[in-house]
Chain A
Amino acid sequence: MGEEKEEKFKTITIPASLFKKIEERIKGTEFTSVASYVTYVLREVVEEEEEEVPFSEEDEEKVKERLKALGYLD
């Protein structure tokens, strides 16, 4: 069972010069390691590229109607 279980983390390699630049960049920030910073940046990039479930104009109009009915929009 244990062997079948997917590993939680994988190792990737980045150029040493880039690693050093990131090390410098995170000094004085709340990122405690290059790995946590790189994970954060990559997650942002991946999420940015992921497609949102389409929210049609019709859906948005329905939402606006409810907001108007409740007095949140004029």
Chain B
Amino acid sequence: MPLPKPHGGRLVNRTLSCERREAAEKEAKELPRLKLREELLSDLRNIAHGIYSPLEGFLCQDDFENVLFEKRLADDTPWTIPIILDISHEERERLELQEGDTLTLCDGSGREIALMHVESIYSYNKEEFAEKVFLTTDKAHPGVAKVYELGELLLGGEIEMFGEVEPPFSRFYLRPVETRVLFKERGWRTVAGFQTRNVPHLGHEYVQKTALTFVDGIFINPVIGKKKSGDFKDEVILAAYETLLCNYYLKENAVMSILPMEMRYAGPREAIHHAIIRKNFGCTHFIVGRDHAGVGSYYSPYAAQEIFSEFPDLGIVPVFFKSFFYCRKCMTVVNEKICPHGEEFRISFSGTKIREMLLRGEVPPPEIMRPEVAEVVKRWENPFVS
């Protein structure tokens, strides 16, 4: 089985070559400038580096509407999360921006990063956006709250990146073109992608290692970037995984690199988005567990697995897992499919329970978390995003 082709058939590269870069930098100085927030810079880099292939820019109106209503781009390619660039009416007036214009995109310090060829300027209905993508309009949902904070207009069009947007923890950052070479060099023909925003407990490890029994390699790909309060800090996740990999994995069949991207908490739709991204990195399989990319109780526990039935043409094989727990009778990690014992023997891998223990300064027991990993997490007085 060869590594899958990138989504849409071609790995997008919207970074400019040296020759074109100089001219673009010069051009950028003369153009209207728009500063991007941190999460938009991540999206920009993800487009430029092909992580969001086949997108070549922020969504134009036809793609945006198709994604909202059909979960597909206008050309029918599966795509579930709108990758958008918002702007206020005031900002548009200040920039005197019209369709057909070119814009300079800058980072927070005003440094020029990219050109954007604005093909489409359009308004949208925030309530409809929230309802379609997050299946709720409840502003207590972090993704919905974010939608209501966006500007009233969206800009669509191709980008050309000439400045490097250095991601945080860049020594762990690999582009799809690099992971594909890496997988090839390792001789992996099948690779399971694992999405995470948590420090690893034994349940995660069990899922990854179960996948490793039928694929050549596991690609652990933590999302780094803006998260909600109560999630683990990025540096804690990375340190915990480094320790786990060093102590409990064979180097030749496990790789970790980061995915700098904002979590949307869009549950089922985001699971598809995560799968597409891993396909672009070269994964043949993608692990989907319980309540993938969920938050609170907005989505049923396995909604993120069920949505895959709408996408037989996704081009990556989803691997579904039920939730795991430790059974004191089996003396190992199991799930309800393989463990005949009662609830009284079960120790669940509840994120809330682990969080409470850590906040009380307690070390989670070895049935829940590897002692080496727990020790690393304990180094932080508060390992969670405030």
Q: Which A residues contact B (CB, under 8 angstroms)? A: 8, 29-31, 36, 39-40, 43, 46-48, 50, 52-53, 55, 60, 63-64, 66-67, 70, 72-73
Which residues of A are found within 8 Å of B178, using beta-carbon distances?
63, 66-67
Asked whether, in the complex, the Cβ of A70 is within 8 Å of the Cβ of B171, the reply is yes
When A30-B309, A40-B313, A60-B181 are in contact, do A72 and B9 touch as well, CB less than 8 Å? no
B181 lies within 8 A of A67 (CB): yes
CA A72 to CA B311, docked complex, whole Å? 33
- State A42–B168 Cα separation when bound (angstroms): 40
Instruction: Please report which residues of chain B, range 56-109, place their CB below 8 angstroms from some CB of chain A when the two chains form the complex.
Output: 74, 76-77
Please give, as numbers and ranges, the residues of chain B lying within 8 Å of A52 by CB-CB distance: 10-11
Of all chain B residues, the one with the shortest Cβ separation from A47 is B9
CB of B13 within 8 Å of the partner chain: yes
| B255 touches A (CB below 8 Å) | yes
A63 to B185, CA, bound (A): 11
- In contact, A72 and B182 (Cβ under 8 angstroms): yes
- Which residues does B use to contact A, with CB under 8 Å? 5, 8-11, 13, 74, 76-77, 171, 174, 177-178, 181-182, 185, 255, 257, 309-313
Contacts A36-B312, A43-B77, A53-B13 known; 11 new A-B pairs at CB < 8 A = A30-B310, A36-B313, A39-B313, A40-B312, A43-B9, A47-B5, A47-B10, A63-B177, A63-B178, A67-B178, A73-B185
The residue on B at minimum CB distance from A72 is B182
B255 touches A72 (CB 8 A): yes
Contact among A30, A55, A73 for B182, CB-based, below 8 A: A73
The chain B residue sitting closest to A41, CB to CB, is B313
Which residues of the other chain, A, contact B182 by a CB distance below 8 angstroms?
Answer: 67, 72-73
Chain A residue with the shortest CB-CB distance to B74: A8
Residue in B5, B76, B181, B257 whose Cβ sees the most chain A Cβ within 10 Å:
B181
